[in-house]
Chain A
Amino acid sequence: MKIIVMGCGKIGTAILSSLVQEGHDVVAVDNDDSVIEEISNIYDVICVCGNGTDCDTLTEADVENAELFVAVTGSDELNMLSCFIARKMGAKHTIARIRNPEYNDAGLSFLRQTLDLSMSINPDFLAAKELFHILKLPGAINLETFSGGNFEMAILKLKENSPLDGVILSDLRKKADLNFLVCAVQRGEDLYIPDGSFALKSGDKIGLFAATAELPKLLRTLGIAAKQSKNVMILGASRTAYYLSKHLLSGGNSVKVIEIDKDKCLEFSSAVPGATVIMGNGAQQELLLEEGIDSTDAFVSLTGMDEENILISIFASTHNVPNVIAKVNRPELASLAEKLGLDCIVSPKKIISDILVRYARALENTLGSNIETLYQLMDGKAEALEFSVRENFKYARVPLKEMQLRDNVLIVGIIRGRKTILPSGEDYILPHDRVIVLSAGHRINDLSDIAK
């Protein structure tokens, strides 16, 4: 499929790299020729240097034949305008990054409609949402939601001396009388899709799948829940911090934001009156101690510098803050940070590229089923996908045990109306169901791909 990515900053590069890996034909557009040069050396894409709102540039990028046009430059207005022009010139679908909070209010749907946008993405908002979910579920290092929020997959890391160390999965089920499934385990570099006889070990990362409402209780029963985050300290008054604080404050939590820039502090305190805004350098340990890092429940580091976020978060961890989350955008730093003991990392870049990969895949398949959600888990080793089943699904009403699933593919859950089934061999899939599938090593485009 032909996709044009306009704007090759951090997000743009992440998007085009994952789209190239997916096998799409990508055209990268940027007005900085040194950036373009760099991109053309590393990724197998065609590069066009120019302004994305210029018809000549768009013609050179062959916009008439583009299936999808993604505008992710730093400027919202530029993104919107170029999407509008691209759509008029023949691009079938357009996606714009719109991050300014002023646009992201009630007027957004009007904007989307007028500009004929297929989707608008706001990385800050999405990152804040993910951060909020993780803070709500202490103990989890990552949380992916399915089926409009009814289902969640929590990624947990078993700490040293975890109560689950050495526990066999079938025993785990007896321990908690709740509906749940351990659907993936990452141990070191390897990924397992475990069966009942699998024994957990300290240091494993596990994917735990359950209904959203039951998940907190489940973690408590299993004895791996951490302290609830009531007061949260946020470093950096970024847009993500703005959205996150709004979420947290409306949930009755207390929020303290540390920011070095005076203007940003003023702006933030007027935008989010409920938050305590501290002007100071968060990199100074003295300041953090003075502001009570020892007694805070959660510490979220959201400055623009990956390195700063990692280092300050490690400092917070050493002061026994129960939940420490760092925003790290560069994947190579994320894996380093993990080695340094920082488990919980949020990357807006990854969130966005997941969304786009999902969107592109859904555009590609028009038969049988629709991809509703797609997440890449465990450093991209596995994917969790949610499909809504259409009328003409090939294996409808076939019991799962007769379906001959591929290796390393697992049907995690079937959602039928308001009922949720954690399936066994006797269960089957019906049209209009939503099916959640976990796959390691296969690229699943369509629900019928799960069978051999």
Chain B
Amino acid sequence: MNRRIVFRTLGSILVLEAVLLLLPIAVSLIYADGEVLNFLITAAIALLCGLTLRILTRNGGAVIYAKEGFAIVAFAWIGMSVIGALPFVLSGAIPSYIDALFETVSGFTTTGASILTEVESLSRSILFWRSFTHWVGGMGVLVFIVAIIPNFTDRSIHILRAEMPGPVVGKLVPRVKETARILYLIYIALTVAEMIFLACGGMPVFDSITLSFGTAGTGGFGVLNDSIASYSPYCQWVITAFMILFGINFNLYFLLLIRRFKSVLKSTELWCYLGVIVTCVTVITINVSSIFPDFSEALRHSAFQVGSIITTTGYSTTDFNLWPELSKGILLLLMFMGASAGSTGGGFKVARVVLLLKMAKRELKRLLHPRSVSTVRFEGKSVDETTLHSVANYLVLYIICFIAVFLLLCLDPGNFDLETTFTSVTACFNNIGPGFGNVVGAAGNYSTLAISSKLALTVGMLLGRLEILPILLTFSPAVWKKQ
């Protein structure tokens, strides 16, 4: 393990975080909400830690392998969250550091689970920072570092693979750096487009910026206590559309840019993703039509909730906790499924679900015809056995980690019911945010949970966003042994 490059990259990340903190400082200056000092102190700490790390590790070689990539990603995310939590504590918005850490990790991992009972009284700059963490975490901070630092390392593909979600991470163009840059440009362009659409619909500028950050990263932190419910139907439709757009594999946007429309139309994952959305919206609209006064409202709310849950955003326009069991059941299943690979969404990913289903089908066929030989095809290509194995392994790890976090939550002294416990783990592990039940549902929050449960969920959110392996590998001693 090349420790120097791991910690040097961590140093770069912290310096970058100090730079990113300038944005809430600017917001604070505009709204004169008196938080400038808190953000300045945090930025100074980030800068100091970052520079110290960089100076201590200045002589490291730049060669990295897969394990360094995993370690860099794990440390970067933990380091960013530990420091990113400080503004909440310093400003007094969240007095307890553990709570602030939960909130920050929830931000960076684009979960959107909150321990705040009331957000409208928070200062503008704190709200901005809270939503901005979603935006930074959505596409990934290391992808950003790779895009901007010249000659970072020849093999930054390992970092990209560790940070980007999905079973296979491919490059768009030959150079990793260019790939990262293109991804960020698409990301920025879509975010700005949403801001403009929202602002045109009469939403206040501050709200449209923060909500766009939340949508882009598929996060889910709002700026009002009732999330999106009090905005106009137009704004709700715009957010629905953009949530679904951000849940699509970004490679497809690149293919659109280079005018390879045929390849986009042939994408299996895209059609599965859209198909699931349409089916679920239809079923839920019929199911909830009795609750709402007219059809269009039922359609709007069901489309919003389905879009919000499948992309793991976690916004809500209505308390879906009060919906019939069928609708709730569908939403719970969508929580596990998640968005497309290579998008900013979390969850198990549509691509993996499709691959697992195809593998299952192949196994059934093999039982009927024991000598049959067949390959699993996806996106017009046959998928090699290593990828299939890794998908199956990921399922196993996913279940094990889920069970571990779930058991820890069952120990909570608050003794919550099973629905609350199970869905809070589901919602955090898949980076959604709100679960079901009165405590953690769309109208509730995570503040009543015990500290141990909050910590377990914090780890769960990181595991979910980074797709388990970086965190598990980095904290297994074998990786750090000197060879």
- Give residues in A with beta carbon < 8 Å to B: 2, 25-27, 33, 40-46
Contact = CB atoms under 8 A, between A and B. Distances in A.
A42 B171 CA distance: 14
A26 B178 CA distance: 13
A25 B154 CA distance: 13
B385 to A, nearest CB: 10
Interface string B156-188: 111000000000000101111110000000000
A24 to B, nearest CB: 8
Contacts of A41: 66, 155, 157-158
Given A25-B174, A25-B178, A41-B155, 16 more contacts: A2-B174, A25-B173, A25-B175, A26-B174, A27-B174, A40-B157, A41-B66, A41-B158, A42-B154, A43-B154, A44-B154, A44-B157, A44-B176, A44-B177, A46-B171, A46-B173
A44 B66 contact: no
12 contacts: A25-B175, A25-B178, A27-B174, A41-B66, A41-B155, A41-B157, A42-B154, A43-B154, A44-B156, A44-B174, A44-B176, A46-B173
Per DSSP, are chain B's interface residues mostly helix, strand or loop, or mixed?
loop
Most buried by B among A25, A26, A42, A44: A44
A418 B157 CA distance: 52
B294 interface: no
In the A-B complex, list the 9 residue pairs whose CB atoms are closest, starting with the nearest.
A25-B174, A46-B174, A46-B171, A45-B174, A26-B174, A44-B175, A44-B176, A44-B154, A33-B384
Nearest to B175: A44
Contacts of B178: 25
Nearest to A45: B174
A84 to B, nearest CB: 24
Nearest to B177: A44
B25 to A, nearest CB: 36
Contacts of A42: 154-155
A365 B2 CA distance: 40
Nearest to A24: B174
A333 B437 CA distance: 66
Nearest to A23: B175
Interface of B: 66, 154-158, 171, 173-178, 384
Contacts of B154: 42-44
Nearest to A65: B258
B250 to A, nearest CB: 16
A334 to B, nearest CB: 20
Contacts of A33: 384
A42 B65 CA distance: 9
A395 B468 CA distance: 61
Nearest to B63: A42
A125 B21 CA distance: 61
A25 B384 CA distance: 26
Contacts of A2: 174
Nearest to B263: A60
Nearest to A46: B174
A134 B171 CA distance: 44
Contacts of A27: 174
A27 B170 CA distance: 13
A414 B171 CA distance: 46
A411 to B, nearest CB: 30
Contacts of B157: 40-41, 44
Contacts of A26: 174
A227 B426 CA distance: 81
A269 to B, nearest CB: 46
A33 B381 CA distance: 13
A66 to B, nearest CB: 11
A40 B160 CA distance: 12
A43 B157 CA distance: 9
Contact of B155 (A25, A44, A46): A44
A42 B154 CA distance: 8
B139 to A, nearest CB: 20
Nearest to A17: B154
Nearest to B258: A62
Contacts of B175: 25, 44
Contacts of B384: 33
A40 B173 CA distance: 12
B308 to A, nearest CB: 35
A46 B158 CA distance: 14
Contacts of B155: 41-42, 44
Contacts of A46: 171, 173-174
A42 B156 CA distance: 10
A40 B174 CA distance: 10
Contacts of A25: 173-175, 178
A44 B66 CA distance: 14
Most buried by A among B157, B173, B174, B178: B174
A25 B171 CA distance: 12
A327 B174 CA distance: 32
A44 B64 CA distance: 13
Contacts of A45: 174
A40 B157 CA distance: 8
Contacts of B173: 25, 46
A25 B176 CA distance: 10
Contacts of A40: 157
Most buried by A among B158, B175, B177, B178: B175
A219 B211 CA distance: 78
A46 B154 CA distance: 13
B290 to A, nearest CB: 51
Nearest to A27: B174
A144 B173 CA distance: 36
A26 B175 CA distance: 8
Nearest to A62: B258
A276 to B, nearest CB: 48
A42 B176 CA distance: 12
Nearest to A28: B174
A57 to B, nearest CB: 11
A43 B156 CA distance: 10
A284 to B, nearest CB: 38
A40 B175 CA distance: 11
Contacts of B158: 41
A374 B66 CA distance: 36
A138 B177 CA distance: 47
A46 B251 CA distance: 14
B147 to A, nearest CB: 14
A2 B175 CA distance: 11
A2 B173 CA distance: 10
A41 B153 CA distance: 12
A25 B178 CA distance: 10
A45 B156 CA distance: 11
Contacts of B171: 46
A33 B177 CA distance: 24
